[in-house]
Structure 1
Amino acid sequence: MSNSELKMANPGAVGLAGFALTTFVLNVANAGLVPAALFAALPLGLFYGGLAQFIAGVLEFRTGNTFGMVAFTGYGSFWMALAALIYSPAWGWMPKDALGAALGVTLIAWTIFTVVMTYLSFMSKNRTVQIIFVLLSLLFILLVIAHYTESTAIKIFAGYEGIATAISAWYGMFEIIKAQFSTK
């Protein structure tokens, strides 16, 4: 079989899976359900939410899906950068007292990126993608507010909202995989 005859799988499934699982684990910690889940979220952020999602974005390039490419390489990079940022003081990359300010500006920047991506998602007819991005925008807004107000209540609410975001992404993954079986 030649390269032109090879059918490429939809990389969006693994991109959504990595995003969903990592988002779920981090927000279980944010919601206060299992605070130690943060220790699992950071390695997941490097590898599944990060690297696997980034690779899915690169593969979206091959399919011609610019939105998927930007979303998956963007959020894959987000997870890797977030994990590195949080580990930075321990690695000697920044003073520990600089972490709060660095995290705050990072959350603001990703909120802006996410709101733009949310707007663009409405140019698609895929309601699941739209729901994922609306929930993700709300999550980032809540995380920014929680960060700057130091409100535990808002952080916990954001955690539960993040769990809902993860579930919506898992549903998106489910739709992609299910569609593969319905076309055979």
Structure 2
Amino acid sequence: MDNDVSAGSTSASASTLGHLALGLTLLAFGLGHTGVFDGITAASAATVAMFVGGITLFVAGLLEFRGGDSFNGTAFVGLGAFWFTWGAASGDTALSGDAAGLFLLLWALLALSLTLGAAGGGLLPQVMYGLLFVSLLLLGIAQFAELGTLAKVAGWVAALSGLLAWYGATAAWAKWPTALPGRAAGRGVTATG
């Protein structure tokens, strides 16, 4: 291994790894809640959540902290803790719906903080974390109220957030755009021929 790797390139790699892990975990978690695939439930995503979402995100977060990126470090370590805990608890049949709802609502607060903190990083991460917040909020409410339909909607929102995370990581490698095109310089500006 090259000891001359700069902190910046380590952080860029860790960021890509973190967003890929988050994207894959959110896709598995979200699609599991939608019921779109026969025999696949949210509990089916527990292993992915523990190892890809939990451990991989946690390690990527530590690498982000090492590289000097406190926002992605906090996001990945925090979400890694969430996914590992959710994956470990999803097999616990003694967990009540109210306890699961409270767990999801508390972690929705982290997602809300990440949404607000991503404001300076562009629209893609802000929308991605915003969708994660909405999905956790809806899932928490669905657990409290025992609303399977709301849980399915939340699953689609989580899957969409996962697609955005995956796109952001893939775009970094492929040099695809991650920002929406800007509008003209100001009010009243017209194109002339």
State the TM-score bracket (shorter-chain normalisation): 0.7 to 0.9
Matched, 1:84 2:88: yes
Following superposition, which runs of at least 4 residues in structure 1 exceed 3 angstroms of deviation?
A: 37-40
The answer on whether the counterparts of 2:101 and 2:142 sit within 8 Å (CA) in structure 1 is: no
CA distance in 2: counterparts of 1:140 and 1:2, whole angstroms: 40
Match of 1:175 in 2: 171
Q: What is the aligned-residue identity percentage?
A: 27
Match of 2:22 in 1: 19
Matched, 1:63 2:73: no
Matches within 5 A, 1:1-184: 3=3, 5-7=4-6, 8-9=9-10, 10=12, 11-34=14-37, 35-89=39-93, 96=94, 98-122=95-119, 124-179=120-175
The answer on whether the counterparts of 2:101 and 2:141 sit within 8 Å (CA) in structure 1 is: no
When normalised by structure 1's length, the TM-score is: 0.85
Q: Which structure has the larger Rg?
A: 2
Over residues 30-58 of structure 1, what are the superposed CA-to-partner deviations in whole Å (9 max), with x where a residue is unaligned?
11112424354101111111111111000
Offset at residue 100 of structure 1 (A): 2.3
The answer on whether the counterparts of 2:25 and 2:53 sit within 8 Å (CA) in structure 1 is: yes
Offset at residue 155 of structure 1 (A): 1.1
Match of 2:182 in 1: none
The answer on whether the counterparts of 1:86 and 1:99 sit within 8 Å (CA) in structure 2 is: no
SS at match of 1:87: coil
When normalised by structure 2's length, the TM-score is: 0.81
CA distance in 2: counterparts of 1:176 and 1:127, whole angstroms: 15
The answer on whether the counterparts of 2:103 and 2:140 sit within 8 Å (CA) in structure 1 is: no
SS at match of 1:36: coil
Higher helix share: 1
The answer on whether the counterparts of 1:85 and 1:99 sit within 8 Å (CA) in structure 2 is: no
- What RMSD, in angstroms, separates the aligned Cα atoms of the two structures? 2.0
Over residues 55-96 of structure 1, what are the superposed CA-to-partner deviations in whole Å (9 max), with x where a residue is unaligned?
10000011100000010011111110001112244xxxxxx1
Letter aligned with residue 41 of structure 1: A
For structure 2, the 5+ residue unaligned runs are 177-193
For structure 1, the 5+ residue unaligned runs are 90-95
Over residues 4-24 of structure 1, what are the superposed CA-to-partner deviations in whole Å (9 max), with x where a residue is unaligned?
x32333201111111111111
CA distance in 2: counterparts of 1:38 and 1:111, whole angstroms: 17
